């Protein structure tokens, strides 16, 4: 998954980016609302983590202004613990909020919950043919075996699982797996797709190549 983090505290931002990267997420960091607008103009995101007090404005005002055109789920990061502040953030379009200081494990859990709700899933497991994919545990179960997925494999399979039957270009997949400053080529996608195909063998689901266009998961 690709996230946008809008946070002006660089130490906190670095910690969040590193923690989410361990889970295989690509995270672009913007320190101001202006930088966030620039990021949103050139990339699509699965989730936005939005601080409230930023150098060039209030994140909640930005959210209220943008909600009509912005369909990406948003978690507000706030140091304000008053109920009215939290209710206000939700009323202005936030999908969830978390109060600073927070534990990174709670932030990860809230990210997973928001993404599940947005995808219409109540449970962690996703059925893929005869296989059961658990993005939280990072496992794929089929044929009586449980296979562990590496971080990039995990996130790539999650993208396919949440877009069944849709053709996804290598460029789109790169955008989902890597941040803007990552030095990678489309060959990396071919490597990860090859690994997933081996792990999905016999599960009744496949990742097929659509010549000249990209890849598609089908059963």
Could you tell me if 40 and 144 lie in one domain? no
Tokens of 196: 């997933």
Of 176, 181, 165, 177, the closest CA to residue 44 belongs to 176
Of 71, 47, 57, 44, the closest CA to residue 8 belongs to 57
Give Dmax over CA atoms of the chain in angstroms: 54
Of 134, 159, 146, the closest CA to residue 217 belongs to 159
Could you tell me if 70 and 142 lie in one domain? no
Could you tell me if 149 and 73 lie in one domain? no
Q: Which of 87, 119, 151 is the last residue of a domain?
A: 119
DSSP, residue by residue, 135-164:
TTTTEEEETTEEEE--HHHHHHHHHHHTST
Tokens of 25: 């997420």
Could you tell me if 100 and 151 lie in one domain? no
Is 0.85 topped by the overall pTM?
no
Could you tell me if 41 and 106 lie in one domain? yes
Of 21, 5, 23, the closest CA to residue 13 belongs to 5
Positive or negative, the Cα torsion across 207, 208, 212, 213?
negative
Could you tell me if 9 and 114 lie in one domain? yes
Of 166, 171, 175, the closest CA to residue 216 belongs to 166
* pLDDT tens-digit readout, 128-176: 999 999 887 889 999 889 999 988 899 899 899 988 899 999 999 998 8
* pLDDT tens-digit readout, 170-202: 999 998 888 887 888 999 999 999 999 999 999
Could you tell me if 13 and 76 lie in one domain? yes
Contact status, residue 116 vs residue 124, Cβ threshold 8 Å: yes
Q: What is the CATH number of the domain that holds 208?
A: 1.10.10.10
Could you tell me if 34 and 7 lie in one domain? yes
User: What whole-number distance in Å separates Cα of residue 212 and Cα of residue 196?
Assistant: 20
Instruction: Tell whether the model's pLDDT for residue 118 goes beyond 80.
Output: no
Of 80, 74, 87, 13, the closest CA to residue 45 belongs to 74
Q: What is the CATH number of the domain that holds 112?
A: 3.40.50.2300
Positive or negative, the Cα torsion across 182, 37, 102, 106?
negative
Q: What is the pLDDT of residue 122?
A: 46
Mean pLDDT of 98-125: 82
Half-sphere exposure for 61 (CA within 13 Å, toward CB):
6
Could you tell me if 14 and 64 lie in one domain? yes
Q: What is the pLDDT of residue 176?
A: 84
User: What whole-number distance in Å separates Cα of residue 18 and Cα of residue 24?
Assistant: 10
What is the Cα 185 distance to its own chain's centre? 20
* pLDDT tens-digit readout, 49-108: 999 999 999 998 899 888 888 889 999 998 876 777 777 778 888 999 999 999 999 999
Q: Which of 119, 153, 185 is the last residue of a domain?
A: 119
User: What whole-number distance in Å separates Cα of residue 73 and Cα of residue 162?
Assistant: 15
Parent domain of 104: 2-119
Domain count for the chain, please give it: 2
Could you tell me if 177 and 72 lie in one domain? no
Could you tell me if 115 and 52 lie in one domain? yes
Could you tell me if 108 and 93 lie in one domain? yes
Residues 6+ apart with CB under 8 A from 117: 73, 95
Q: Which of 76, 92, 119 is the last residue of a domain?
A: 119
């Amino acid at each position: 998954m690709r996230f946008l983090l809008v946070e002006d505290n660089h130490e906190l931002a670095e910690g969040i980016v590193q923690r989410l990267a361990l889970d295989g997420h690509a995270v672009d960091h913007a320190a101001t609302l202006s930088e966030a607008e620039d990021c949103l103009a050139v990339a699509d995101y699965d989730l936005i983590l939005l601080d409230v007090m930023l150098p060039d404005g209030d994140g909640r005002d930005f959210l209220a202004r943008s909600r009509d055109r912005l369909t990406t789920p948003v978690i507000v990061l706030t140091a304000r613990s008053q109920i009215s502040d939290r209710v206000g953030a939700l009323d202005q379009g936030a999908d969830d909020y978390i109060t600073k200081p927070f534990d990174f494990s709670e932030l990860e859990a809230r990210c997973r919950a928001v993404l599940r709700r947005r995808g219409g899933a109540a449970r962690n497991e996703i059925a893929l043919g005869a296989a059961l994919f658990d993005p939280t545990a990072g496992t794929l179960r089929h044929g009586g075996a449980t296979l562990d997925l590496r971080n990039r494999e995990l996130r790539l399979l999650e993208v396919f699982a949440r877009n069944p039957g849709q053709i996804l270009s290598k460029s789109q997949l790169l955008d989902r797996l890597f941040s803007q400053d990552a030095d990678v080529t489309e060959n990396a996608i071919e490597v990860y797709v090859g690994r997933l195909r081996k792990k999905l063998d016999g599960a009744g689901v496949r990742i097929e190549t659509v010549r000249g266009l990209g890849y598609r998961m089908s059963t």
